[in-house]
Structure 1
């Protein structure tokens, strides 16, 4: 995998997975832009090199359906202000090929909420797990997820993942899309590198007694982490 600081984006189109799942008030105004500001160093690096930028993110939990209250169109002006340049908007993340192809060096395209498409998360919609047809629906959705990831990958020459909060999920825009770029053309963004390095330093240089506190509503998604920590920590809460 390439290193972002060693890569020259000149003349390249880069598609970057960020986490712009920012809180909005009833008027659709951002109440905390921390996540946008956190991605700026990565995005500005690409633009400064002379690359074109395609930004993709999710917002909220629309569950595979269009929900205008969760549209990323609401944050376009905030992203433009953070990057200090105009930002174009693609109303459908799965149908933005022509807009991506038309991008010139230094230009920016923000894709609509990825989770408006159920293929992003890869979960069948409208069918319960106890339904006898669920397995077939899940298999079909995985095929559709692959095609969605291929479509996103077709927009760019380079893939950058700077969305630490969703990096553990096997979604189209995180894990699946990476399969369609060779090691020299996919990399972690600066925010992601910072987080990974911080965790690595803690795990390798921890002072004892070492206590880990695990939080979150989905226990099932934490089991692998908990198991991995058991022989490394003195206390686990």
Structure 2
């Protein structure tokens, strides 16, 4: 894949640059409570503004389903962007039509304008050509810096990219380069760590990874399904027993592809799921029938560390245990901190993503030392599943 980046964009002074960003941030009482997604797009906004472009931000917020919903307006987000950007950010009460056109016409070189929620129009999610044309009417150039929305073929992510000269922003560029280094042209051996509650939500992911990586660590509740498929009695643990055949199929595919699947060799079990619950570490053949697996034990942690140490590239999605509740966060924290250490020492290219993953790495204090941590959620997962992302495809040079 080849894309035009901001390095290819010259002579932007006075040009109207429509920048698709992800401002779908958490809000409470009309205030932004987590600015991570805003922080990610600041470099692109600053660079374009610094070159004299008229920077026009396109974004969605929530799921208003084509209707105007007052508490899904982007109006309260504009001041938060302005505070972090260190300069005023104007706001227009619509993203197309006379209101948007008038706001764009009033812009000066280097100024920044945020247009109202694109999903207030049904044409956005339908990728209606007329809606895309209405968006494009306010711009000379299109820049997509919202990888997190790139798995959707919407008017502001796919339709508009085919109507204007299209470029990738700095965050989108970093994301694509990180993913390319992790699965496109990685340094081997490649290790994937995949955890989470259910196999059913990650079948496509697992089936794609076994053909791409050299080692696959399976953790979290989903590991129980694989253990049960191998005949382990997992007691009262979260387990999708009806997916035993699916687990066996994935293990068979891995064997054919010469991908080593790494499952727990011991387990931390408890009789209740709560913080500080009485627990014990037991071998897999001694799991009491009235207990549930909530984490993996020290022997499994050592195995995971050994695999991380042997790897050149790590792709991580999902925790190894119930990390939200102590003491069942030990395996996730230990593995994450070791991966961070290997990355700091220049021995590992580590790329991670997915909602629970980001939370788990932050909990372990390891996120800042990973090579790249994606906040893209669904788009990150679909990329790992090997699916084509419409918003990325439309940007290919």
Q: Give the one of 79, 82, 100 matched to 2:104.
A: 100
Q: Which residue of 1 aligns with 2:14?
A: 11
Contact persistence 1:93–1:112 (CA under 8 A): yes
Shift of 1:227: 5.8
Change (3 A) 1:209 1:55: closer
Q: Which has the higher contact order (CA 8 A, sep 6+)?
A: 1
Shift of 1:167: 0.8
Contact persistence 2:49–2:55 (CA under 8 A): yes
Gaps of 5+ in 2: 219-397
Which has the larger strand fraction?
A: 2
Aligned pair 1:115/2:95, yes or no?
Answer: no
Work out the number of aligned pairs and report it: 210
Aligned pair 1:178/2:180, yes or no?
Answer: no
Structure 1: distance between partners of 2:92 and 2:203 = 35
Change (3 A) 1:214 1:156: farther
| Correspondence list, 1:1-237, <5 A | 1-8=3-10, 9-25=12-28, 27-95=29-97, 96-122=100-126, 145-181=128-164, 185-203=165-183, 204-208=185-189, 210-211=191-192, 213=194, 223=204, 228-233=208-213, 234-235=215-216
Q: Which residue of 1 aligns with 2:242?
A: none
Moved runs in structure 1, 4+ residues, more than 2 A? Answer: 206-217, 219-223, 225-230, 233-237
Structure 1: distance between partners of 2:131 and 2:158 = 12
Contact persistence 2:20–2:59 (CA under 8 A): yes
Secondary structure of 2:142's partner?
strand
Contact persistence 2:22–2:148 (CA under 8 A): yes
- Normalised by the length of structure 1, the TM-score is 0.80
Structure 1: distance between partners of 2:168 and 2:71 = 30
CA RMSD of aligned residues (A): 2.4
Q: Which moved more, 1:186-195 or 1:103-112?
A: 103-112
- Normalised by the length of structure 2, the TM-score is 0.49
Secondary structure of 1:15's partner?
strand
Secondary structure of 1:187's partner?
strand
Cα deviation digits, residues 80-137 of structure 1 (max 9, x gap): 1122222111111122122223322012111111111121111xxxxxxxxxxxxxxx
Structure 1: distance between partners of 2:203 and 2:159 = 21
Secondary structure of 1:72's partner?
coil
Shift of 1:230: 4.3
